[in-house]
Homo-oligomer: A and B are copies of this chain.
Amino acid sequence: MKSLDSTTVVQIGIIVKDVEKTASAYAGVFGIPKPEVVPIAGDAFANTNYRGGPSTAQGKGAFFDLGPVQMELIEPVGAPSTWEEFLRTHGEGIHHIAFKTRDMGKAREFLASQGMETIQQGGWDGGQYAYVDCSKQLGLILELLHSD
């Protein structure tokens, strides 16, 4: 792989302190229904790994489908996670943009060859994700998504 196999942004992730409150505000501003708040990384599929070690940290999420891009609000629950770290060090804000990749392993290898290391990975019932810290090179965290 000489570059990422996707250039289509599919999701923007925002870290918030209170997902119920912020999801209500989004629903009001965009005139759309408030989605149900759901647990993130809270089940047997999570298998969360943060900076090289297992983590039981979770999140509470709300997902808004805004055209072709999904907005994901995440309230960190517990630690350690990139979500908790971001809230603690940056406060609320835009945490990541996500791309779907066909080969997660090769995508991570390619990014690592550019000095961009995976800081958190895990899964859900139907897929896997990896957060890759590209702060120094791209000014942000990339999320790679793969659906089974």
Contacts and interface: CB of A to CB of B under 8 A. Distances in A.
A92 interface: yes
Contacts of A8: 66-69
Contacts of A116: 29
Interface in A50-76: 66-69, 71, 73
Where chain A touches its partner, the secondary structure class is mixed
A93 B7 CA distance: 19
Q: How large is the interface on A (under 10, 10 to 19, 20 to 34, 35 or more residues)?
A: 35 or more
Given A14-B138, A29-B137, A90-B93, 5 more contacts: A3-B30, A3-B31, A4-B29, A8-B66, A8-B67
Interface of A: 2-4, 7-9, 12, 14-16, 22, 25-26, 28-32, 66-69, 71, 73, 90, 92-94, 97, 111, 114, 116, 134-135, 137-140
